[in-house]
């Protein structure tokens, strides 16, 4: 299967996606957005063996190998999976900066002397 490029808008950003056999990959601000196509679950059968319905394909979304939506990591809608990836990529730098500032403040508080010891 040849790779197919598609473009779509998510959260006011245009993303070019490369659709491969087992994943869909896009890039946003240097971060790799990967939507893994999970193996097809087949079909749901009734007790007598007839097909009731086909099970939808599932997608798992990661941004730089971090699961994008830990509360709901598996999606059955491709557009929701793409939205999860872009939203997580947009908020990830803010999260990293907030954690860095919190660690810096914690280290500074550990290094500073108590007020009564300074006298």
pLDDT digit string, tens, across residues 20-79: 889 999 988 888 899 999 887 777 777 787 777 777 888 998 888 777 777 777 888 888
The confidence score (pLDDT) of residue 71 equals 75
The confidence score (pLDDT) of residue 1 equals 55
For 82, the token pair is: 């793409």
Q: Tell me how far apart the alpha carbons of residues 90 and 81 are, in angstroms, rounded to a whole number.
A: 14
Strand partners, 34: 25, 62
């Amino acid at each position: 299967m040849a790779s197919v490029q598609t473009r779509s808008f998510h959260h006011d950003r245009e993303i070019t996606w490369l659709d491969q056999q087992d994943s869909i990959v896009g890039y946003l601000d240097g971060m790799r957005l990967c939507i893994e196509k999970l193996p097809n679950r087949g079909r749901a059968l009734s007790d007598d063996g007839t097909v009731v319905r086909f099970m939808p394909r599932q997608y798992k979304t990661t941004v730089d190998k971090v699961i994008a939506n830990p509360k709901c990591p598996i999606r059955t809608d491709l557009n929701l999976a793409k939205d999860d990836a872009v939203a997580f990529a947009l908020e990830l730098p803010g999260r990293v900066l907030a954690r860095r500032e919190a660690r810096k403040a914690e280290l500074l508080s550990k290094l500073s002397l108590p007020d009564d010891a300074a006298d």
